[in-house]
Structure 1
Amino acid sequence: MSVTSTARARAALAATAALAVGGLLLACVSSQAGAASTGLKTLAEAKGKYIGTELTGNMVYNSTVTSLAAGQFDMVTPGNEMKWDTTEPSNGSYNFGPGDTIVSFAQSHNMRVRGHNLVWHSQLPGWVNGVPRNQVQGVMESHITAEVSHYKGKIYAWDVINEPFNEDGSLRQDAFYNAMGSGYLADAIRTAHAADPSAVLYINDYNIEGENAKSNALYSLAQSMLAQGVPLGGIGLEGHFIVGQVPSSMLANMQRFAALGLDVAVTELDDRVQLPASSGSLQQQATDYATVINDCLAVTRCPGVSQWGVGDADSWIPGTFPGQGAATMYDNNYQPKPAYNSTATALGGSTTTTTTTTTTTTTTTSSPPPNSTCTVTDSVNAWNTGLTENITIVNTGTGPVNGWSLAFTLAGGQTITSAWNAAISPGSGQVTAKNVSYNGSVPPGGSVSFGFQANHTGDTSAPTAFTLNGTRCATG
C-alpha cells in the first residue's frame, strides 16, 4: 500500500468529529461478560501494553470523542499539532499552543503522549526548504531542541524521524538529506536525546510492517546506528492496512527489530475497506485487528498499539482514498464494530455468552400514566440479525436527577451484546439501564444518552414504555 503522507495529514487536520450519540466507556451487560464490561486500556494494561489513539483539530473539543478516547485509550498522539508547520511557522518563532492543548487533555486523563513528529519531509513551512544547505543542520537542531525541551518530561516517546524511506529502501532526497546526507538521521536522534534523555526516540514509517526492501533498509540503518552508539530507542510501524492484507511476516519483522534491543510499536493503525462496508469485510477487519494485537502481545518489546483516529468519522482515509473508509474500531456514530470486540478479546476480554434462567412474576398492577418529569426518545438501526439502539432521557422536571435507572422491555428475540454509557442487565426481556460513574447527574432541562448493540431474530421494534426511577416517562 502506498500512502500519500501529505494528503493524510491534511485530511486529518480538516476532519471534524461527527456529533452523534456515541459510545463512551462500554458498560457491562450480562450476555457479554468480559469485552463489553472492561475498557480496552484496562485490558491492555493488564497485559503490560498500552492502547492508544490520535486526536487532532476539532476532535479535542468534541465531548463525545474525548470521552470515548479517555475511557478506552491510555495513549494520545497529536495528529498535526506537533509538526513543523504548526510549531515553527517562521524561523525561530514557535507556536506550541495546539500541542499544549492535547498534552493537557492527556495529563488530565492519565494518558501518555506520543510526540509526532520532529523531522519529516512533509508539512514543512516554506522557509525551511529555502534555507541554504550550509544552514540546514543548525536549523534542524534548533527546531528539535526547542520543541523537545518545551515538552521535556511530558512526552513518552518521540517520532524523531518520520517516513525517511522510499519504497525501494532508498532515502528520500528531502531538504535534510540533500544538505547533510544520511548523517541527518543520527544527528536528529542525538539532538533529541540531548534535549530529553528520558524520552524513547523512534524512526516511524509506513509499509515497513512486513519484511520487504523498505523494512530491510530500515533494519540495516538501525543496526548501523546502534553500532555507532546513536540513542535510537524504537521503530514505529504505522500500520495503515487494506483489509485482509496484514503481512504474514509482520511478527517476524517485529521480532528482528526487537532482537536489536529496540522497542517496536504499531503507531497509526487503521484497516480500510471498500464502501459501503459489507459484513464480510468488517469481520475480516476484526480478524486483522486481532492479528495486529496478537503480534504485539507476542513481542515483549512491543509496548503497544495506537489507532489513527478514534472512530470512522475522524479517519483520513475517505478524503485520501475515495470510495474507501470504515477503517477503525468505531463507526461514524462512535458505535463499536466487530474490530472492537476482536481487539478486546485478543487483549484478554471474554466474549463468552452466558445463559441465565430467570423466573418471571406476573402482577395485575397497571402501569402508571406518563407524567411530566421525563421524556424518552429512541432510535433503532437494524441489519440482518443485529441492531443498534440509541436512547436519550430528557429531564423535564424541576429538580435534578442524581442517579438514574431506566427500565424497559426488549422485543422478543432481542439479546444485548454490548452497551455504552450505561450498565444494562439482564441482556433480554425486562431490562434496566443504570448510569455509569460519569453521567449520573441530569439537571432540569438536561439530557443523557446511552445505547446498545443487540442480536435479534426478526423483531427489531423499539421498547414502547420506559420507567425512570419508578416513574413512567413520556415518549417522543
Structure 2
Amino acid sequence: MSRGHGPFFWWCGGRVRRWASTAAVRLGLLGLCLGSGWRAQAAESEPDSSLRVLAERAGLTLGVAVDTPVLNGDPAHAALAARHFHVLTPENALKWGHVEWQQGRRDTRAFEAIAAFAAANSQGLRGHALVWDREIPAWLSRDDPRVFDAALADHLQATMSDHRDLIEVWDVVNEALGPDGHRAPSSLVEVLGPSYLETAFLRARAEAPQARLFYNDYAVLWPGPKADGLVRLVKALQQAHVPIDGVGLQSHLHLVPEGRLDWPGIRAHLRRLGALGVEIHLSEVDVRVADLAGADQGRLLAQADAVYRLVSVCRLEPACTHVAFWGVSDRYSWIDTAIGPDDPLLWDEQAAPKPAYFAVQDALLGRPWRGCTTNISGVGPSLETVTTTGGRLRRSLESSQAEVVVTDRTASWHGPQVDVRAWLSEGLTFRLSAEVQTAEGMPLQWTLRVVDGGGTRFLKVTETVATGAWQSLEGLLQVDLQPPVETVHAYVEGPNAGHDLALRSVSATVACAPSEATSP
C-alpha cells in the first residue's frame, strides 16, 4: 500500500520489496506483482522473457546504471534498459560535481531526462551518490571547514528535497573506507573530520524520513580487511543510533588467471551483514575479462560463470534484495575509458545478449547454469574437424554414428586431435571427454599441446588403460596461457605403434561440481 508519495510496499516472490517513484511507477510495479504468477510460468518456457520478469519470481529487483546519451541517443540500448530492469541509477547525473559544477547554479537536466524515462517505463530510481570525496566541485575551497560543511549540507538538502517524491533509496556516502577497513584519507576527512559520514546520514534521515539510506563501497564483497571494516562501520553506526538501512557492495569483478573468487566466503560475508539487520544490494556489477589469455568464447564463459554465481548468492540470501549492473552494454562501459578495452556487461556493443545474460536467466530461475552442459568443443556429429597427429586418418559411418580411426600409426603419440584454441581460455576449468577405442591393455591419454609466448608445452589431461571396447576418456583442463597464443590442440595418444586408435565423439563443457548446480 502507498500513502501520498511515500514508500510503496509490494510483495513478489516471497519477499517484501519497497521501491517508490512516481505514481506511474508505483502502478507499474503493482501490475508486475499481480501478474508475476503467470509471467513466471511463461518465463520458464520462453527464453526471451525479460530479466525483470524472472527477477520478480526470485523475489529480487534488478537495476542498471544509465546516462542520458544512452537513453536519448541509442534506441536499442534504451529499449534494453526499459525492458529488463526495475530501477535506474543515474551514473553521474546526481553527483555533486556534475550537478553544481558552477557555484550557485544547480543543473539537474540530465537527471530529469532519466527520471522521465523511468516514469514512462514503470521504473524506480536510485539516488547515487550524495557524498563522495571524488565528486566535490572544484570551486569549493577547503580552507574553511564551516563554509565547506555548509555547502555540503546545502547540496544534500537541495538534492534530496528536489527529488524526494521520486527517489526512495539513496547512496548517502560512497567509498569512505580504505583497504585496511578504516576511514580512508580524503578531503572530507581532512576538512571536516571522520564524523562527516555520521553527519551525512543524520541529515539525510532528517530530510527524507521514509527513505532507505545506504552506504556504498568497493572491495567489500569478498572477505578481507575492508569487508571487516564495513561490518565494524555498520555496527558503530547502529550503536550510535545513526540511521543506516542498507549497504551497497560494489561488484566490479576482475577475473585474472592467478586468482579465483572465494564464493563460499562471499556468501558467509553476506550472512554476516544480514545478521546486522541491514539490506544488501549488489551494486555496480560488471566483470572484466580482458586479462584472461585465450579465446573470446572462453573468456565470456568465465564471465558468465562469475555472474551466475553472483546472482545466485543474492537469490539464496534473504538479506540480499537487489542486483544492479553498472551499464547496459559493452559499448557504454566506464571501464573502457578509465581502465582499458574490455567487455564487462550482459550485452555486447551491438546490443546482442552474451553468455552472461543467459547466466542471469539461469540464476534467477534457480536452475543449473547452461554452461555446465553445453558442448563447446566445435566438433560436430560428423567429426569433420578431427585431424590426426600422425598415421592415416580414416572416416567411417557405423551404426549411424560417425567415427574416425587412425591407422598406420608409427609412434605412440599418433592419434586423433581437435583444435581447442577457439574456446580455451584462462579463468575456468573445462571438462574434455571423448569416446575412444583401441586394443585392450594399451595406455590411453588426453594430451594438450600448447604453442604460445612461452614456447611449446605438452600437458597431460588424463590417462587410463584401454578395455578393448568403446570407453570414455575424460579429464579436467585448466591452463595458463602466455600471449601470443598460436595453436592449442588436444589429442589422444598412448597405444603402441601398429595399433589402431578410434574416436567417435568429443565433448567440452565448463567443469561444474554437482553442488554448483543451483548455488555458488
TM-score (norm 2): 0.59
Superposition misfits of 4+ residues, deviation over 6 angstroms: 349-353
Per-residue Cα deviation, 1:390-418 (whole angstroms, up to 9, x for no partner): xxxxxxxxxxxxxxxxxxxxxxxxxxxxx
1:339 aligns with 2:356: yes
1:260 aligns with 2:276: yes
Contact 2:88 2:123 in 1 (8 A): yes
Contact 2:52 2:61 in 1 (8 A): yes
Secondary structure, counterpart of 2:289 in structure 1: strand
Secondary structure, counterpart of 2:311 in structure 1: helix
Per-residue Cα deviation, 1:141-165 (whole angstroms, up to 9, x for no partner): 1110110111102113111101111
Which of 261, 270, 278 matches 2:286?
270
Contact 2:308 2:369 in 1 (8 A): no
Distance 1:385 1:90 in 2: 61
1:285 aligns with 2:297: no
Whose radius of gyration is greater, 1 or 2?
2
Q: 1:315 to 1:385 in 2, by over 3 A?
A: farther
Secondary structure, counterpart of 1:255 in structure 2: helix
Contact 1:169 1:214 in 2 (8 A): yes
Name the counterpart of 1:327: 344
Sequence identity of aligned pairs in percent? 29
1:101 aligns with 2:113: yes
Per-residue Cα deviation, 1:424-444 (whole angstroms, up to 9, x for no partner): xxxxxxxxxxxxxxxxxxxxx
Which of 42, 60, 76 matches 1:49?
60
1:177 aligns with 2:177: no
After TM superposition, list the pairs within 5 Å mapping 1:292-371 onto structure 2.
292-322=310-340, 324-348=341-365
After TM superposition, list the pairs within 5 Å mapping 1:137-156 onto structure 2.
137-156=149-168
Q: Structure 2: where are the runs of 5+ without partners?
A: 1-38, 371-376, 381-520
Per-residue Cα deviation, 1:304-346 (whole angstroms, up to 9, x for no partner): 1011100111111122223x41111111111111111111011
- Size of the aligned set, in residue pairs, is 328
Per-residue Cα deviation, 1:344-398 (whole angstroms, up to 9, x for no partner): 0110177999xxxxxxxxxxxxxxxxxxxxxxxxxxxxx9589xxxxxxxxxxxx
TM-score (norm 1): 0.65
After TM superposition, list the pairs within 5 Å mapping 1:230-245 onto structure 2.
230-243=242-255, 245=260
Secondary structure, counterpart of 1:232 in structure 2: coil
Distance 2:379 2:338 in 1: 33
Which of 39, 42, 47 matches 1:36?
47
Distance 1:277 1:68 in 2: 27
1:59 aligns with 2:70: yes
Contact 1:161 1:185 in 2 (8 A): yes
Distance 2:57 2:141 in 1: 46
Secondary structure, counterpart of 1:118 in structure 2: coil
After TM superposition, list the pairs within 5 Å mapping 1:85-164 onto structure 2.
85-130=97-142, 132-164=144-176
86-95 or 283-292: bigger deviation? 86-95
Name the counterpart of 2:223: 211
Which of 153, 168, 172 matches 2:180?
168
Contact 1:119 1:162 in 2 (8 A): yes
Contact 2:363 2:369 in 1 (8 A): no
Name the counterpart of 1:246: 261
Q: Which amino acid aligns with 1:253?
A: H
Distance 1:88 1:123 in 2: 10
Q: 1:123 to 1:352 in 2, by over 3 A?
A: closer
Q: 1:200 to 1:35 in 2, by over 3 A?
A: farther
Contact 2:346 2:356 in 1 (8 A): yes
1:93 Cα deviation after fit:
2.3
Secondary structure, counterpart of 1:219 in structure 2: helix
Distance 1:64 1:278 in 2: 24
Per chain length, whose mean CA-contact separation is higher, i.e. which structure has more relative contact order (CA < 8 Å, sep 6+)? 1
Contact 2:142 2:148 in 1 (8 A): no
Contact 1:118 1:161 in 2 (8 A): yes
Secondary structure, counterpart of 2:308 in structure 1: helix
Name the counterpart of 1:421: none
Name the counterpart of 1:473: none
Q: Which amino acid aligns with 1:246?
A: L
Distance 1:95 1:233 in 2: 29
249-258 or 87-96: bigger deviation? 87-96
Q: Which amino acid aligns with 2:314?
A: C
Contact 2:359 2:369 in 1 (8 A): no
Contact 2:95 2:129 in 1 (8 A): yes
Q: Structure 1: where are the runs of 5+ without partners?
A: 1-27, 354-382, 387-476
Contact 2:97 2:135 in 1 (8 A): yes
Cα RMSD between the aligned structures?
A: 2.6
Secondary structure, counterpart of 1:231 in structure 2: coil
